[in-house]
Amino acid sequence: MFQSSRRQFLATLAASGAAALSHQALFAGTDIGSVLPTEGQQTGNPLPRNQNNTQGHFRPEKRFGVGGVAIGNAFAPTSDEDAQAALAASWEGGARYFDTSPWYGLGLSERRFGWFLHNQKPDDYIISTKIGRLLHAADSPPPDLLWKQPSSFEYEYDYSAEGTRRSIEDSLQRMGISEIDIVFIHDLSPDNEDMKDNWKEYFEVARKGAMPELTKMREEGIIKGWGFGVNRPEPALKATEVADPDIHLLACQYSLIEHEEALNHTFPALAERNISVVVGAPLNSGFLAGRDRYNYSNNIPDGFNEKRQRISRIADEHGVDLRTAALQFCEAHDVVSAVIPGARNASQAEANIKSMTVSIPDGFWEQLKQDGLIAKNAPTPKAAS
């Protein structure tokens, strides 16, 4: 059904008396690598850009990029060919911001990003990666990871100054590129199963080690900016109190279906310091693209399937699709400097970029607010005139 028009599919179900089940059927069984069709009027506009930064903290030029989780074999293996095709399609569509990490596939994502980017000029793209885990060669990777068929490494946490330099040097070697633009302190957070309540102890190590070291590297011109890459706001906000970060990668915190804490608390606190946000997992780990998982887990919060169906029905009434609405919603906030959905093949990368060039009717957002499906004070994009 993913090769046919989404609205044609829904119309067929309605004609057969199955309209009440249409959206449930649409989302059920969405396979890894499949793509829901992009609906709506194309504007032909290029991908959105940030204005020239005059406040001191670095922002990437392009407001749309690609994240490296799926390319690191999250949930299912991705072939080398599909990974390269996804990156090539992203580039062809105008994306110039690429985010990866040593953690993604235990070095696999970085190697795949580097294999593509080493053929490009460093001035033509922005690359971010992360520190916090050092990789060590092993006979086999640890069991029960998110990554399927990862590289054969073990990992250890190291947020010290020395570990930070070592991690960046290792990343440069894995990617085979000459420089890294943004470095995020990764997964130092209470939701990290390895840390839980001990995350503050790791934070103290980073406060004395990684944070001043990254600030020094920024002053030396080795990197352009740094921040935290986390799934909860507390570490990023705490870092803002004790150091001078430029930009935070906040995953699973600002999306079409769940955004009020970030909107009303996290974003205003960061805006006071001119710190911008890269929105990671804008589709909630595929949930807003039809996957039966939410934020890297199979545990979907109560009521979220029904909420997704309601938003999708309204989207269909206004001639757009859920993925397009979700990506453009995340990009509309001023604090956001980039949105980085993942892609594991060319079709997904092309669909993500196509979603950013659709004109969404203003009435769609008005109805979502009227029905209490998004916050009334949430910024939304304006329909192209």
DSSP state string for 169-223: HHHHHHHT-S--SEEEEES-STT-TTTGGGHHHHHHHHHHTHHHHHHHHHHTTS-
Beta-sheet pairing, 126-131 with 97-99: parallel
Tokens of 220: 């030396």
| 377 contacts 263 by C-beta, under 8 angstroms | yes
Q: By C-alpha distance, which of 154, 129, 120, 127 is closest to 140?
A: 154
Sequence letter at residue 64: F
Catalytic residue selected from 62, 82, 97, 99: 99
Specify whether 62 is catalytic.
no
**Local structure of 338: helix, strand or coil:** strand
Helix extents (H) in the chain:
6-15, 22-27, 80-92, 108-117, 161-175, 199-208, 210-219, 233-242, 260-261, 267-271, 304-317, 322-331, 346-355, 362-370
CA dihedral over 39, 45, 51, 52, signed as positive or negative: positive
Q: Is 294 part of the annotated catalytic residue set?
A: no
The catalytic position among 97, 104, 125, 159 is 104
How would you classify residue 68: left for phi > 0, otherwise alpha for psi between -120 and 50, otherwise beta? alpha
Active-site residue, from 62, 82, 125, 130? 130
Our CA dihedral for 274, 63, 34, 81, rounded to 10 degrees, sits at: -110
* First and final C-alpha spacing in the chain: 32
Closest CA to 92 of 309, 295, 346: 346
Say which residue the tokens 């979603």 belong to: 355
Q: Provide the residue type at 229 as one letter.
A: G
Angle at 217 between CA 214 and CA 218, to 5 degrees: 90
- Greatest Cα pair distance, the chain, in angstroms, is 66
CB 188 within 8 A of CB 132: yes
Known catalytic membership, residue 130: yes
User: Which amino acids are annotated catalytic?
Assistant: 99, 104, 130
